[in-house]
Amino acid sequence: MPAYRQGQLDGLCGVYAIINAVQRLLGKSRVDGVTDDLFKAVARAIPRKDHPTLLYHGLRRKTVARIARAAARYLNKSLGTDVAVCQPFRHRTFRNIKAFLSELDTIHMTPSATFILRVDWAGRQGGHWTVLKQIKSDRLVLLDSIGQRQISRHALSLRSERKHRITPRDAIQFQLR
């Protein structure tokens, strides 16, 4: 009988996505010594009104952005980094997934930046927060708390419920300045 994994019973993928984004941005060796305290800083930044529903419904974009900024403040203070968090597509619209991924790849995907994306899986209720590692010609490569390693580009959409949906306004960028 397989063990339960993160995401099967809880909605903590937003918290894990933040920790994984930081690890991707700064490197595992640099983050390992502060991961426990970073997790605590992130948990403390979650508004009390979201307890305990976040455990089973997950976190909204506004809350994930808020706790991502708290993570950046913690890192900047404890490690002396200059990490910034922004939502570059919050007020943008795109014609299709190809246009969004093209801009994301050419302008925003740099060695000093990483993104958290929300994916609404086709045929499933609720969304999932994950870290984008790389955009390839045929797929997105992920660093994901439930073990989802990639998503085919052909399975993605900005609007369709028959495909996995990504909403650009939900994208959260961590950047090392």
pLDDT digit string, tens, across residues 127-170:
899 999 999 999 999 999 998 999 999 999 999 878 999 999 99
pLDDT surpasses 80 at 125: no
Q: To the nearest 10°, the Cα dihedral for 118, 47, 74, 88?
A: 40
Work out the pLDDT band at 97, boundaries 50, 70, 90.
Answer: very high
Per-residue pLDDT, 12: 92
Per-residue pLDDT tens digits for 28-44: 889 988 999 999 999 99
Find the mean pLDDT for residues 65-72. 98
Beta bridge partners of 84: 175
Who contacts 80 (Cβ-Cβ below 8 Å, separation ≥6)?
none
Global pTM reads 0.94
CATH, range 13-176: 3.90.70.10
pLDDT at 133: 94
Q: What is the per-residue pLDDT for 8?
A: 79
168 contacts 94 by C-beta, under 8 angstroms: yes
pLDDT band at 78 (very low <50, low <70, confident <90, very high): very high
Q: Evaluate whether 174 touches 68 at the Cβ level (below 8 Å).
A: yes
